[in-house]
Chain A
């Protein structure tokens, strides 16, 4: 089954700022890999439940107790940019 990918859209969804050349190269590699991966469609799976996880587990509860958390200064020291105890990022809203 030939596979056609809108690679620019996929890269945008994945927040990967790739150049046009990179997009073209990854696009054609992905088509090859997906052609192989599409073999999963050859196996009859009517009535088969999907497995998301190897363990049959639902929720993992614990009691709601106050516990030590990571040290704020130690965490912020690893941030690319921070101010007044917050992570700082470029604008994420349009100017009014």
Chain B
């Protein structure tokens, strides 16, 4: 029998209902995997052993009573540590929040608890979700389960690594410029960013509010669908939460790609794409064509400027959002002199790491008098052009596809001295954050070094049904069943 830590949500849900396993046994298997891998992986910042055991016991009691709240009941799930959990330390991987115990739950946490999910703990990230490798965490770098010398990607690197290795059956991440999809790609799992507004941001520690969106990291497309169905929906606590009727996310998932028009964005396949990534991507396009899809090469000229626009808009919003960390109401306080302003300056200088400091400075500059029009204002206009390019492209294609990341996992330390090289990791994912559209990364193979390669499917806002449909077809055509080195245990296949 395979180790329950390697189950997909769908497999675990069946096993829980057939009596083959219990929520307590599932949690135990996952905790065993955590114990086995954490020294090498460092996916977690906090394990909530007590809370998880209580939730697992409650799920088993519910099953015994015949109460069934859906596919996540009894499923061990991890949360990126920028989602607040009442009574459980939440740091966003920053020193400025060291030891902070939130007095409330994020709305996604409430929804997971209401669905009977078992929250195992909080995963590592780049500080305040700013980064592409988890190297910006104040609490150490997470490692890639396929090669611990390499990064898991980021910023949701801890969540992706945990899911890849069986230290959680699924996890939530947040995606501001690719922070769900890029680490999912580098860790060989599925990662999905929903349409902006579908999932409440209440209790997500804000980085860039017009770009941030919470989404699932899972081991299958069906599992991503199951998690999204649980966490999506209007929330009065989030003024930007979508109020209309939700699409039926899974309504087309098993229909295949026959007759669909799939657009390839030529600007996102440029220099910097590793040959192995380009080859795997091209091979998948041929398979999709073989399965009846029509492949069209499309040009979205403004996406070439999306990265530049993003690195003005995201820091601008971050400089405003992170003003709240001032040593007054919660978190770190460092005495810096006589006045409150001295205290704030000393607290923020001591509490924020280099990347966060850099982005606050960048955003403050881009918003400051005299430079606003040339930088932030111009970036907002480029954002409009990116949205218009997408709209035109979606008249000619049902979905757009790209590699998720131009490269496979890079070595720890390789890009830390060059912020610009790090930023280029997100070149294929950033445009859909600017437009607010959904995207998903599906693993399709490995390179010569055995490192996973991700395939990205983008769709128009609220077109998750067709996005999942193509993603499921890609998953089937890829038949990706490789396992990371670190997951090979006595119980794993």
Contacts and interface: CB of A to CB of B under 8 A. Distances in A.
Contacts of A57: 240
Interface in B320-371: 323, 326-333, 335-336, 338-346, 348-349, 352, 357-358, 360-362, 364-366, 368
A40 B309 contact: yes
Interface string A7-47: 10011011111100010001001101110111111110100
What's the interface size class on B, roughly?
A: 35 or more
B356 to A, nearest CB: 10
A40 B382 contact: yes
B219 interface: no
Contacts of B343: 89-90
A54 B312 contact: no
What's the interface size class on A, roughly?
A: 35 or more
Interface string B360-401: 111011101000001101111111110100000000000000
Q: Name, among A37, A70, A81, the residue most crowded by chain B CB atoms within 10 Å (CB to CB).
A: A37
A33 B104 contact: no
Contacts of A22: 349
Q: Name, among A60, A77, A90, the residue most crowded by chain B CB atoms within 10 Å (CB to CB).
A: A90
A60 to B, nearest CB: 4
Contacts of A33: 311, 358, 362, 419-420
A69 to B, nearest CB: 10
Q: Is the interface of B mostly helix, strand, loop or mixed?
A: helix
A14 B319 contact: yes
B101 interface: yes
Interface in A51-96: 51-55, 57, 60, 62, 70-71, 74-75, 77-81, 87, 89-92
A50 interface: yes
A41 B365 contact: no
A13 B364 CA distance: 7
A42 to B, nearest CB: 8
Interface of A: 5, 7, 10-11, 13-18, 22, 26, 29-30, 32-34, 36-43, 45, 48-55, 57, 60, 62, 70-71, 74-75, 77-81, 87, 89-92
Given A34-B365, A39-B308, 16 more contacts: A7-B361, A13-B364, A15-B323, A16-B357, A30-B365, A34-B362, A37-B312, A40-B312, A42-B305, A43-B305, A50-B377, A51-B383, A54-B461, A57-B240, A70-B103, A91-B338
